[in-house]
Amino acid sequence: MTDTPTQLFIGGAWLDAADGATMPVDDPATGEILCHVADAGPKDARLAEAAAVQMQEEWALTAPRARSEILRRAYEIILERTEELAHLMTAEMGKPLAEARGEVAYAAEFLRWFSEEAVRIDGGAGILPDGRNRMLLSRRPVGPCLLITPWNFPLAMGTRKIGPAIAAGCTMVLKPAPQTPLSSLALAAILQEAGLPDGVLNVVTTSRAGQVCEPLLRGGGIRKLSFTGSTAVGRLLLAQSAEAVVRTSMELGGNAPFIVFEDADLDKAVDGAMLAKMRNMGEACTAANRFFVHHSVAEEFGRRLAERMGALVVGPGTRDGVDVGPLIDRTGRGKVEALVTDAVERGARVLVGGRTPEGPGCFYPPTVLTDVSPESRLMDTEIFGPVAAILTFDDEDEVIRRANDTPWGLVGYVFTEGLDRALRVSERLEVGMVGLNTGLVSNPAAPFGGVKQSGLGREGGRVGIDEFLEYQYLAIPMR
Ligand code: NAP
């Protein structure tokens, strides 16, 4: 912790907030304060924006190979410092060290992936249909970007945006979540060490998100917003972006259906459920939120899932053998408790868990609920905790209709051994991603994102860089 930067990173310099404000960073496993970091205000945000705007033209002209090599070096440094970064992440966010190590590797991979994409930005050329003009298409960086990230994947949500922005030649202001600023500050230091020029990436940690971000979105200097967070905040930021017609990418909330058909391999389904539900303690936008299980296998599936969930070890993420760390804070845990209470009041049976432990920290036990009423609040709320809610269904059309009966559409999981059914159901689900007999879809090489109110645009994959590029078309007379 001692070497981790705690100041704002602006124009390549580490600075205190202009008004000297700081904010605490808590350890969710103990409730104790880990350290204080600078708490930026509007003045600091303006300074960060000015640094990004000033550097944009020069950075856009940097050779793609140079940008690529900075990303590659940063990827290597991150991997070398896996232990250090994983401990930092566990300290501020709570996830068990094994998961934090996994996130460090996942986060680094976005930098490697986009180091490879930086040198493959293509354009086009052709003759227009009327034969009078040639067209030349080139792709240019969209310009200075505002990147806003959540706390649940403190490093990977940053690199998933910073990687393509650097590759495309965009400068940035990054505003991480106030619960987890340390991973972003450590990442900024690594990118600087890897040779990123001053002013390309600027990081403002703040507890005053609205005051810091709104003027930037309305001001005209920022040309692009890339946001990951809740749908409610995304909607607000879309409205704020409208004034200066800022281009947006939105990775928003989910309400994933997890469908187990009567012909599913139940071993695979339970393994998949453990991943889709318990990765990150259930604090993931991809977390399975509604388990729809065919009535003929529901009891067996519930029994096996409850057995696996009940065997998980809950405790501080730094302790050996712990599978489930604390939730992010008391507010997050309070929301999970209220959703479980509501479901139980509406008739759900608790197969395992369901009781908040005494003592410090924000722990909540892995919980399986069955006979959940479709009227329960957790059916249309992201649980964001280790709670699996099981409902039953009778036929395929019915389950597709119920799975799609939500404003969200990020990801769905389908478990069946029938190929026809697998394809048919996947194609009818209104989601951006489907896990077919698997509980994990995230991969830097695949386009991540949702439909409906789960977002706009994609991160990762071949298309991830497109979000940071604009076409310019040049018309050239043939003669
Ligand atoms: P959140 O409350 O929407 O916050 C996300 C980020 O937005 C934080 O940095 C937050 O800072 C900031 N923010 C909030 N209000 C703002 C405003 N008025 N102006 C500018 N920034 C503002 O979400 P969260 O609770 O941190 O994260 C959980 C949500 O993220 C879930 O809905 C989850 O599904 C979603 N998520 C989606 C993806 C995806 O790829 N689709 C990935 C991960 C998470 P403050 O906390 O200071 O307000």
CATH of the domain at 402: 3.40.309.10
Average pLDDT over residues 143-165: 98
Helix, strand or coil, per DSSP, at residue 375: coil
Nearest to 113 by CA among 68, 52, 171: 68
β-sheet with 124-127: strand ranges across: 124-127, 133-141, 469-477
- Check whether residue 231 and residue 309 sit in a common domain: no
Ligand 1 atom closest to Cα of residue 206: 47
- Note whether 418 and 319 are within 8 A (CB): no
* Confidence at 231, pLDDT banded by 50, 70, 90: very high
22-26 and 33-38: which strand pairing? antiparallel
The confidence score (pLDDT) of residue 3 equals: 83
The confidence score (pLDDT) of residue 2 equals: 58
Residues annotated as catalytic (active site), given as ranges: 251, 285
Burial zone of 380 (CB within 10 Å; 0-12 exposed, 13-18 middle, 19+ buried): middle
Angstrom distance (rounded) from CA 125 to CA 38: 49
**What length is written for the chain?**
479
- Check whether residue 47 and residue 139 sit in a common domain: yes
Q: Does residue 3 lie in a domain region?
A: no
Q: Which helix (DSSP H) or strand (DSSP E) does residue 23 occupy?
A: strand 22-26
The answer, yes or no, to whether residue 123 has pLDDT greater than 70, is: yes
Nearest to 254 by CA among 409, 379, 461: 409
- Check whether residue 391 and residue 336 sit in a common domain: yes
- Check whether residue 429 and residue 467 sit in a common domain: no
- Note whether 146 and 248 are within 8 A (CB): no
- Note whether 349 and 340 are within 8 A (CB): no
- Check whether residue 145 and residue 188 sit in a common domain: yes
Ligand 1 atom closest to Cα of residue 253: 34
The confidence score (pLDDT) of residue 33 equals: 97
Please give the DSSP secondary-structure letter assigned to residue 308.
Answer: H
Q: Does residue 449 lie in a domain region?
A: no
- Check whether residue 223 and residue 296 sit in a common domain: no
- Whose C-alpha lies nearest to ligand 1, atom 46? 177
- Amino acid identity, residue 414? V
- Note whether 366 and 353 are within 8 A (CB): yes
Place of tokens 């995304």: 234
Percentage of residues in the chain with pLDDT exceeding 90? 99
Q: What is the pLDDT of residues 235-266, one digit of tens each?
A: 999 999 999 999 999 999 999 999 999 999 99
The confidence score (pLDDT) of residue 479 equals: 84
Q: Does residue 46 lie in a domain region?
A: yes
Nearest to 376 by CA among 395, 394, 356, 390: 390
Q: Please report, for the chain, how many H helices and E strands are present, in that order.
A: 13, 22
Domain span at 429: 256-443
Counting ligand 1 atoms within 8 A of each CB, the residue from 228, 241, 248 with the most, and so the one to mutate, is 228
Average pLDDT over residues 164-174: 98
Cα 373 to ligand 1 centroid, rounded to whole Å: 29
Sign for the pseudo-dihedral over CA of 164, 117, 431, 264? negative
Pocket of ligand 1 (CB under 6 A): 148-152, 157, 175, 177-178, 209-210, 213, 228-230, 233, 236-237, 251-254, 285, 382, 410, 455
Sign for the pseudo-dihedral over CA of 458, 462, 465, 471? negative
- Total tally of structural domains belonging to the chain: 2
- Helix %, strand %, coil % for the chain, to 5? 40, 20, 35
Q: What is the pLDDT of residues 330-344, one digit of tens each?
A: 999 999 999 999 999
- Check whether residue 122 and residue 150 sit in a common domain: yes
- Check whether residue 430 and residue 350 sit in a common domain: yes
- Note whether 71 and 299 are within 8 A (CB): no
Q: What is the pLDDT of residues 343-391, one digit of tens each?
A: 999 999 999 999 999 989 999 999 999 999 999 999 999 999 999 999 9
- Check whether residue 222 and residue 264 sit in a common domain: no
- Check whether residue 395 and residue 407 sit in a common domain: yes
Q: Does residue 448 lie in a domain region?
A: no
The confidence score (pLDDT) of residue 1 equals: 58
- Check whether residue 91 and residue 203 sit in a common domain: yes
Q: Does residue 313 lie in a domain region?
A: yes
- Note whether 465 and 121 are within 8 A (CB): yes
Place of tokens 């900024």: 188
Q: What is the pLDDT of residues 402-456, one digit of tens each?
A: 999 999 999 999 999 999 999 999 999 999 999 999 999 999 999 999 999 999 9
Nearest to 317 by CA among 29, 76, 77, 75: 29
Average pLDDT over residues 202-208: 98
Percentage of residues in the chain with pLDDT exceeding 70? 100
Q: What is the pLDDT of residues 79-115, one digit of tens each?
A: 999 999 999 999 999 999 999 999 999 999 999 999 9
Ligand 1 atom closest to Cα of residue 251: 41
Angstrom distance (rounded) from CA 160 to CA 150: 12
Q: What is the pLDDT of residues 15-36, one digit of tens each?
A: 999 999 999 999 999 999 999 9
Angstrom distance (rounded) from CA 122 to CA 463: 12
Nearest to 371 by CA among 387, 347, 393, 351: 347
* Confidence at 293, pLDDT banded by 50, 70, 90: very high
The confidence score (pLDDT) of residue 129 equals: 96
The confidence score (pLDDT) of residue 136 equals: 97
Number of Cβ within 10 Å of residue 395's Cβ equals 11
Helix, strand or coil, per DSSP, at residue 240: helix
- Check whether residue 266 and residue 185 sit in a common domain: no
